[in-house]
Each structure stands twice: as C-alpha cells, then as structure tokens.
Amino acid sequence: MNAVLQSLQQSLRPWRGHGQALAAPALVLLVLAMLVLPLPPWLLDTFFTLNIAIALTVMMVAAYMRRALDFAVFPTVLLITTLLRLSLNVASTRVVLMEGHTGPGAAGAVIEAFGTFLIGGNFAVGLIVFLILVVINFVVITKGAERIAEVGARFTLDAMPGKQMAIDADLNAGLIDQAEAKRRRAEVSEEADFFGNMDGASKFVRGDAIAGILILIINIVGGFAIGMLQHGLPLEQAAHSYITLSVGDALVAQVPGLLVSVAAAMVVSRVGKEEDLGQQIVAQMFDSPKVLGVTATVMALLGSIPGMPNLVFLGFAAIIGAVAFWLARERRKPSAQELAAQQAAQAPAETEATWDDLQPVDLLGLELGYRLIVLVDRSRRGDLLTRIKGVRKKFAQEVGFLPPPVHVRDNLELKPSAYRITLRGVVVGEGEVFPGQFLAINPGHIRTPLIGQPTTDPAFGLPATWIEEHQKESAQMAGYTVVDAETVLATHLSHLMQVHAAKLLSRTEVQELVEHVRKLAPKLIEEVIPAMVPIGVFQKVLQLLLEEAVHIRDIRTIIETLAEHAGQIQDPVELARRVRQALAPAIVQQIYGPVQELEVIAIEPGLERLLTQALGPQSMGALDPGVADMLTQSAARVASRQEESGVPAVLLVPDAIRQGIARLLKRAAPRLQVLAHSEIPDTHTIRIGPIIGEPA
C-alpha cells in the first residue's frame, strides 16, 4: 500500500508544480469570467465566501511575517484581491438589478445575511454602517498606509547607496563571503522594488473604496428605476428589496476590503526583522512593570470616582497591577550567568599553587568588558565568534597562512563597553563599542551632523558617531557607512591582523604551512625545506615579506625562488629581495589592481644620489638627521595627498636603497609602499606623480 501511495505521489509531483504555476492565471481568468458571464446565486455565495477567506488569510500572513520581504508578493496579491472584489461587485450588481424584484434573497444567502441579519433588515442602519466602514477604510487606514508606503519607498531608495557601502565594508573586512554579499545586495534591491511597488499598489485599495461607494449608489438608483418602471413595484417594496440588497452587497465587499487594507497598513508599517507583530507588541508595550504599574494606578483612581463603572475599572486595575507585580518579581531574579558568578565567588579559594595556574601567553587575544559578553552569547543572538571565524578565513585566503585562533575572554578591569586586542600578551589595539547601537563612519567630507556620541573609527581613524537604531536609515541616506558593534570590533581585529601579520607567523604556523604545501607538492618541499633552506631562514624570509604587506599566497613561487638562489645565498634579507622580484606582478596587482599605468612617487635626483651614498650597499648606513627628518615628513605629506586623491601611495626608488628607504619611512608613513625599479613588471608603464625633495 505504501508503495502504491509513493508511486502516486511521484506521478503527481510534476503536476503539482504546474498547478502552482497556473494558479494566478486561472484566478485572473476567473475574474474576467465574472465580469462577463452571469452567475447563479449559489455560485455568488461561494465566491463571496472565498473572497472573505482570502482576505482573512492575507491579514494573518501580514500579522505573522517577520519582515516586509517575507510577503514580497503582496502588491500582486493586492491587485488580484481588488480585481476579485470588483468582479464580484459587477456579478452581484447584475443579479441584484435583474432579480431584485423577487425579494432580498435574489442575490444569494451571503448578501441576504449581510443585508438583513447583520443590520436587522433596517437599510438605513446598513447605509450608516457602510459609510462608517468606508470612512475607516478610506480616510484612516488607506490614507495612512498610502503615506507610509510613499515615504518608505523614497527612504529605501535614498538609503540604497549606504546599504551597499555597508555590504562592501563587511566583505572587505572578511565578515561575509562573496555569496553572502551577493545575497544581501539582492535583498537590498528586492526591498527597494517592494516598497516602490507598495507605493503604487496602495492606490488599488484607495480606488476600491471609491468604487464601493459608486457601486452602492448605482445599485440603489438603478434598482429603483428597474423595480418601479419595469416591474411596477411600489416605492416601499422597491426600497425594501433593492436598498437591502445593495447595502448587503456593499457590506459583503467592504468587509474583505477593510481586512486587506489593514493587512497593507501592517506590511508597510512593519519595523524589525526578528519578531512577528504580536511578539513585538507584547515585548514593547507590556514588558515594563513601571509602565503597567502607573497604568494600574490611574485605572484604580478612575474606578474610585463616584458615578463611574467602578467594578470594571477596578477589575482592570487589579489585573494590570498583578501583571506589573509579576514582571517586577521576574526582573529581580538573578540570571543564570549571575548565579554562576555568585557560586564561583563563594567557592573556596585554592591554597596551594599548581602548574595549572601557569597559563601560556595567548598569541592572539581579545579581552572584553562585561557589557560586551552579550556579543559572544549565542542565546542572545551574539555572533561575534562567527565574525571572528570569518576574519580568520578571509585572512588565510588573502595573506596566505592560517592565523592562530583568537582567545576571547572577559576582563573585569576594562571599562564595561571596552575591549582590548593583544598579541603575545602585549596590547596592540583597544577601543569601545556599544551593543545595540550603530557606528556611523564618515568616509569623506560629509557635513550632515548626527545626534549621538562622537568618536573615531578604531580601525582606520576616521571620524564617526555612535547612533541609535532608529537613526540608521537617515545616516545611510546622508552617505555614512553604518555598521553594528560586532562589525566594528571584527573590522578592528582584521586590520590589526593584517598590520601584524609577520608577528602572527610563528614557528608553529610555518610548520603547518610546510605540511600543507607538502600535500600539494611533496617533491618540492622534500628538495628545498629543510634540505636547502632551514626552517628558521624560511620563516625569516616570510616575515620580511609580511612586514612590508606582501602576501605569501603564492607559496610555490616563493619556494621555487628560494631553491634557485639558496645554493649561493643564505642571508634572509637578500633571499627576501629575490623573492620580491619574483612576486613583482602579484605585488603590483595587490597595490594597484588590474591597471597597466602605475602612478608613482619619485625622489628628486639630487636627494636620491645622496640617499644612495648614505644607504647603499657600500655605505655604513649613516644618514644626516636633518635629511632623514625632511625625507620622512615630505613622504608622509605626499602619501596622505595621494590617498586622499584615490591613488595608491607608492614610492619608486633604485634597488640598492629600497630596503633602507622602506625601513626609514615605515614609522612616519606606514601606508606608503616602497618599490624598486626591478619590481615593476615589463607589462606595466609608470607615470611620475609627486616628487619628494623638489622645491615647492
């Protein structure tokens, strides 16, 4: 039997996809058929019931969705439901005008129920109820939803550049990969399309409300004319039949229209992505015992006034007060972390020292203040550990070796929102982040002020401001790059890992790198390391490259170059120079990207000759302090101007003094790259830009 059912399911599976694909066209054809073909009353009842069910479903989906894009098809649904209601109005109008003289039941049981039972058969009451529903729908809900959709569409479009910059910043920091960046860009584009469509689709709801009023008037006037002139009905009977039918028909269409309008308003007014609407209302309105306590007190005071319905007011005051008391008691209970801390504090201290008390120094550490523990707590949606894994992965892909793990721990000596990054136990970076807030970074010369706490981006030193979540959209529209606290911390860590890559390459990492290459090219490793190049020399060569921000991803070229020269040279400095020449195309591409003309900084010929005499191979490395000071200051100014103009800061010097110049300028201009003439590939051309030492 199970085999038969499985076979039947497999045979029906292709048809299921075809059925879903044909659902929307079939519904549109049904709508068009109702506009043209006459429908019997029982079929009208079926379609009116279906219309109410669809409207309820749409409203429930809008209430339980977590973000606007969860119901991205809503503008199309809005169009189809509006067409369905209007086509039902046309079909029911045809029946009312043709068969209305036979009585209130001529157009089916649904219209009769709305026209008689719900309003007690009093068409005057029905008209008033209908007008009230129209006012609620058209003036209040539809008008407000239309305005929210219009503003949301404009703000979403204006915020697109800032969101794209934030995605690029996360991608460059290694927090996300290319696939995640592509998904986020598509989500930003879909969000802009959705709010733009909602801005236009809200006109459907507005037009539907106007059409309902016009159809009611047409039904009443047409019904009177047909009933009295064609069927000879007296005025009272015509009014009873046609007005009751018209009002019932209008109410049947207006109630689903009101539900869909409410759904549209909930969709466009949705804020947040983590909870549905019910969870947000409970969490934000009924989560504060202080608010509920004040409300209960006011209700009790109103209930004590003579003449008021005391029982009702005092009853609600008691219920709200009980809820406030329960919330306050729950808030006073210590959390699991606090209980663990108390138990640890009460535990008896060990009296004897052991070797276990001697902890090794972390190669790479991250210390957090106690308020930042939430960033690594997965139960509170903290994803800092995931971000750190992404930083290590991107570092390995770009630089060429797997960095050591980051040891994360708390430090009660730090300020609550402060953090500290250590390398071999020495602090190399520190900062302060605020969970729940966002850092708006000024990437250029944006003049729009922000309300918040001014600060500086810890990674790159750019001016920034800590802002609240509700200011995020406006800051992005102004051109700021807006990132959360986890991204700020992860970006700072990533930047420091790049800066101190040479120190992160310990002997352990070198051994692991050699073992990794051995799997790919066992003969190469067997021939060169350690047979020709000792592991210590190999580590020193790699560190010299990393100190000048040269990536070691092309490890095969590095080892092959060492194999070529290690027979005559064992000096790590000279070996590193030969490796740089072999890696010249990769170094230039790393700095400039895929361009053929390279704009470089040069040194004035007279100053260059002086530097060659002082720093060349035959010199003693002595340089006049005044010349050195002038050179460092000029290089720092020129490098800063180059970066501000969007051009890489690269100084081109003769091979003989490249290493000495690089060492001299490293502290004054850390972002300035120093290249030798032999490191420019033959496929590229150079263009001399600023010249250091030239008279102003």
Q: How high is the pLDDT of residue 343?
A: 57
- Residue 465 reports pLDDT greater than 80: yes
Are residues 47 and 102 located together in one domain of the fold?
A: yes
Are residues 324 and 258 located together in one domain of the fold?
A: no
Separation CA 531–CA 526 (nearest Å)? 7
Instruction: Flag the least confident range among 126-135, 301-310, 534-543, 676-685.
Output: 126-135
Q: CB of 244 within 8 A of CB of 252?
A: no
- Residue 336 reports pLDDT greater than 60: no
Q: CB of 187 within 8 A of CB of 58?
A: no
- Which of 439, 467, 502 is the endpoint of a domain? 502
Are residues 465 and 409 located together in one domain of the fold?
A: yes
In a domain, 680, yes or no: yes
CB neighbourhood size of 169 (10 A) = 18
Instruction: Flag the least confident range among 42-46, 194-198, 433-437, 686-690.
Output: 194-198
Q: Confidence class of residue 198 from pLDDT cuts 50, 70 and 90?
A: confident
Instruction: Flag the least confident range among 107-116, 298-307, 311-320, 411-420.
Output: 107-116
In a domain, 230, yes or no: yes
pLDDT, tens digit (0-9, with 9 covering 90-100), for 74-85? 777 877 777 777
Instruction: Flag the least confident range among 230-244, 328-342, 513-527.
Output: 328-342
Residue 675's domain spans which residues? 595-696
Q: CB of 649 within 8 A of CB of 692?
A: no
Mean pLDDT of the chain: 79
Q: Is the dihedral of CA 97, 99, 100, 104 positive or negative?
A: negative
- Residue 5 reports pLDDT greater than 50: no
Are residues 425 and 439 located together in one domain of the fold?
A: yes
Q: CB of 169 within 8 A of CB of 491?
A: yes
- Residue 616 reports pLDDT greater than 90: no
DSSP 8-class letter at 348: P
Residue 540's domain is classified under what CATH number? 1.10.8.540
- What would the DSSP string read from start to end of 357-385? G-PPPPSEEEEE-GGGGGGG-GGGT--HH
- Residue 2 reports pLDDT greater than 60: no
Smallest CA-to-CA distance from 172 within 587, 376, 460, 418 is with 460
- Which of 502, 520, 555 is the endpoint of a domain? 502
Of 6-15, 196-205, 511-520, the range with the highest mean pLDDT is: 511-520
- What would the DSSP string read from start to end of 265-308? HHHHT---SSS-HHHHHHHHHSS-HHHHHHHHHHHHHHHTSTTS
Are residues 396 and 415 located together in one domain of the fold?
A: yes
pLDDT, tens digit (0-9, with 9 covering 90-100), for 488-544? 999 999 999 999 999 999 888 999 999 988 888 888 888 888 889 999 999 999 999
Q: How high is the pLDDT of residue 24?
A: 63
Are residues 498 and 370 located together in one domain of the fold?
A: yes
Distance (Å) of CA 289 to CA 325, 330, 338, 495: 7, 10, 22, 44
Q: How high is the pLDDT of residue 546?
A: 92
Per-residue pLDDT, averaged over 75-98, amounts to 77
Q: What is the pairing mode between strands 407-410 and 438-441?
A: unpaired
| Helix or strand (DSSP H, E) at 71 | none
Q: How many domains does the chain have?
A: 5
Are residues 473 and 511 located together in one domain of the fold?
A: no
Per-residue pLDDT, averaged over 16-45, amounts to 68
Q: Of residues 68 and 18, which shows the higher confidence score?
A: 68
Are residues 423 and 465 located together in one domain of the fold?
A: yes
Separation CA 172–CA 168 (nearest Å)? 6
Are residues 111 and 44 located together in one domain of the fold?
A: yes
Per-residue pLDDT, averaged over 317-326, amounts to 82
- Which of 502, 524, 552 is the endpoint of a domain? 502
Q: Of residues 241 and 485, which shows the higher confidence score?
A: 485
Are residues 371 and 477 located together in one domain of the fold?
A: yes
Are residues 509 and 496 located together in one domain of the fold?
A: no
In a domain, 336, yes or no: no
Cβ partners under 8 Å of residue 501, min gap 6: 395, 399, 403, 546, 549
Separation CA 547–CA 526 (nearest Å)? 27
Q: How high is the pLDDT of residue 1?
A: 45
Smallest CA-to-CA distance from 592 within 482, 480, 687 is with 687
In a domain, 351, yes or no: no
- Residue 350 reports pLDDT greater than 60: no
Instruction: Flag the least confident range among 338-342, 395-399, 559-563.
Output: 338-342
Residue 432's domain is classified under what CATH number? 3.40.30.60
Smallest CA-to-CA distance from 541 within 515, 522, 560 is with 560
Q: Confidence class of residue 619 from pLDDT cuts 50, 70 and 90?
A: low
Distance (Å) of CA 147 to CA 26, 72, 116, 142, 154: 33, 19, 37, 9, 11
Laid out side by side, the sheet with 426-432 consists of: 407-410, 364-368, 418-423, 426-432
Q: Of residues 198 and 14, which shows the higher confidence score?
A: 198
In a domain, 20, yes or no: no
Per-residue pLDDT, averaged over 22-43, amounts to 71
Distance (Å) of CA 564 to CA 74, 236, 530, 559: 67, 111, 14, 9
| Helix or strand (DSSP H, E) at 599 | strand 597-603
Separation CA 195–CA 154 (nearest Å)? 8
Q: Of residues 79 and 370, which shows the higher confidence score?
A: 370
Q: How high is the pLDDT of residue 286?
A: 66
In a domain, 388, yes or no: yes
In a domain, 342, yes or no: no
Are residues 577 and 550 located together in one domain of the fold?
A: yes
Per-residue pLDDT, averaged over 439-458, amounts to 87
Q: Confidence class of residue 273 from pLDDT cuts 50, 70 and 90?
A: low
Q: Of residues 559 and 16, which shows the higher confidence score?
A: 559
Q: CB of 562 within 8 A of CB of 528?
A: yes
Cβ partners under 8 Å of residue 605, min gap 6: none
Distance of CA 504 to the CA centre of its chain: 31
Separation CA 40–CA 494 (nearest Å)? 71
Separation CA 471–CA 478 (nearest Å)? 11
Residue 658's domain is classified under what CATH number? 3.40.50.12790
Separation CA 250–CA 223 (nearest Å)? 14
Instruction: Flag the least confident range among 56-70, 573-587, 624-638.
Output: 56-70
| Helix or strand (DSSP H, E) at 435 | none
Q: Confidence class of residue 8 from pLDDT cuts 50, 70 and 90?
A: very low
In a domain, 17, yes or no: no
